[in-house]
């Protein structure tokens, strides 16, 4: 007598239950797309492309909100500087190309793998485009007048001085010069500088390990935290990019393009985005592995669904002491144990 046939308990293997077949598991185009999405940086590049496209569209078609202003307001009566201390082209050099060159040179000198080159550049580019995108959205929505608005506007001679007027009172014919007068908050130069140079500062801090914490080794022994002290020279080296970003921000006040409030918020925005982008690819600066990026997407695998799911479960996990590997313990738990010892 033949033994009864048993059905598989794996989801999707039965032939009679509804929803037993999935286009993502049965092969075909959708399955290939899903595997490619999970095992590559496709989402990062698609996101970057969307942000870049949105930024270009904003630059080309969006005009700022035009707040009412008064000719007697001295806060917007500063002269218009035709020659800027840090023009936009120089800002790209200082905040984008120099950090890019330093990171690539460091990785080449240390013979870093291709994955480290990749995430170093990708993290910087995402920080820059996201900062620019957010800055322009805020600029055009807020519509705060620049300190040199009256010089840009060139009000008509019969404009009343002690009442609020609109852009209709302006006689300036150059479109960009006039409308850019309502894009004061936040400072784009400041946010751009702190995004690029801030990312470089974080990269250098990770590579020099000035905040790194290590752990003693020994199987079956209590691991104790030890501080790896970074010397002052390396710490100052990591501060140099932030000093440069600060000087760029100050130059915007010297040119009467922004006030302190504009550049402070712009710098904070750029620094926040740079840290967010950095931590997507790198461990925290206190990690003993802060000089190594997180593992890339699981490009390998045997092709089976179980292996793919296992790789997907491991991909994206934090690779430092925040999880402590397979032990499932964290630093705070061990420090409490040391206090009771």
Q: Are 230 and 208 in contact (CB under 8 A)?
A: yes
What is the number of other CB atoms lying within 10 angstroms of the CB of residue 177?
A: 15
Helix axes 114-142 and 188-208, enclosed angle (nearest 10): 150
3-state DSSP helix/strand/coil % of the chain, to nearest 5: 55, 5, 40
Q: How far apart are CA 335 and CA 236, in angstroms?
A: 30
Both structure tokens of 26: 């049965």
pLDDT (0 to 100) of residue 64: 97
Q: How far apart are CA 215 and CA 230, in angstroms?
A: 16
pLDDT (0 to 100) of residue 229: 57
pLDDT (0 to 100) of residue 32: 74
Is residue 80 annotated as part of the catalytic site, yes or no? no
Both structure tokens of 273: 């985005």
pLDDT (0 to 100) of residue 34: 74
Q: Are 120 and 104 in contact (CB under 8 A)?
A: yes
pLDDT (0 to 100) of residue 121: 97
Return the DSSP state at 289.
T
Catalytic residue among 189, 213, 291, 294: 189
Is residue 189 annotated as part of the catalytic site, yes or no? yes
pLDDT (0 to 100) of residue 106: 97
pLDDT (0 to 100) of residue 40: 85
pLDDT (0 to 100) of residue 8: 44
What is the tens place of the pLDDT at every residue in 201-257? 999 999 999 988 655 444 433 444 444 555 889 999 999 999 999 999 999 999 999
Bridge partner list, 155: 170
Bridge partner list, 213: 227
Chain center to CA of 116: 17
Burial class, 1, CB count within 10 angstroms (exposed 0-12 / middle 13-18 / buried 19+): exposed
Domain boundaries, the chain: 87-146+183-294
Tokens 């590997």 found at: 325
Residue stretches of the chain with pLDDT short of 70: 1-27, 213-230, 299-341
How big is the chain, counted in residues? 341
Catalytic residue among 179, 213, 258, 291: 258
pLDDT (0 to 100) of residue 115: 95
Chain center to CA of 188: 15
Helix axes 260-281 and 188-208, enclosed angle (nearest 10): 40
Which candidate, 334, 249, 305, 330, places its Cα nearest to that of 26? 305
Cis status of the peptide bond prior to 186, with omega within 30 of 0:
yes
Q: Are 179 and 64 in contact (CB under 8 A)?
A: yes
Tokens 């496209």 found at: 53
pTM of the shown model: 0.80
Burial class, 224, CB count within 10 angstroms (exposed 0-12 / middle 13-18 / buried 19+): middle
């Amino acid at each position: 007598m033949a033994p009864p046939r048993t059905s598989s308990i794996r989801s999707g293997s039965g032939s009679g239950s509804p929803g037993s077949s999935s286009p993502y598991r049965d092969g075909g185009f959708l399955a290939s797309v899903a595997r490619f999405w999970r095992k590559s940086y496709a989402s990062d590049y698609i996101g970057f492309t969307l942000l870049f496209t949105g930024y270009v569209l904003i630059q080309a078609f969006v005009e700022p909100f035009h707040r009412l202003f008064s000719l007697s307001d001295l806060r917007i009566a500063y002269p218009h500087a035709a020659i800027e201390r840090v023009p936009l082209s120089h800002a790209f050099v200082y905040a984008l190309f120099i950090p890019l060159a330093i990171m690539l040179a460091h990785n080449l000198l240390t013979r870093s793998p291709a994955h480290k080159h990749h995430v170093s550049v990708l993290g910087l580019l995402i920080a820059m485009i996201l900062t620019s995108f957010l800055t322009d959205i805020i600029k055009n929505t807020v519509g705060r007048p620049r300190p040199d608005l009256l010089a840009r506007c060139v009000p008509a001679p019969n404009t009343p001085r002690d009442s609020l007027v609109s852009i209709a009172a302006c006689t300036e014919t150059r479109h960009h010069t006039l409308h850019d007068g309502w894009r004061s908050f936040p400072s784009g130069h400041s946010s751009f500088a702190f995004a690029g140079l801030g990312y470089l500062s974080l990269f250098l801090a990770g590579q020099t390990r000035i905040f790194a914490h290590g752990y003693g080794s020994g199987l079956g022994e209590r691991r104790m935290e030890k501080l790896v002290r970074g010397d002052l020279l390396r710490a100052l080296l990591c501060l140099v990019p932030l000093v440069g970003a600060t000087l760029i921000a100050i130059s915007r006040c010297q040119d009467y393009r922004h006030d302190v409030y504009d550049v402070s918020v712009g710098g904070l925005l750029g620094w926040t985005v740079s840290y967010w982008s950095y931590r997507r690819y790198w461990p925290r600066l206190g990690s003993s592995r802060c000089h190594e990026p997180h593992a890339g997407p699981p490009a390998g695998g045997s092709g089976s669904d179980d292996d793919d799911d296992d790789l997907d479960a491991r991909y994206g996990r934090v690779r430092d002491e925040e999880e402590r590997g397979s032990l499932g313990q964290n630093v705070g738990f061990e420090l409490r144990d040391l206090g009771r010892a």
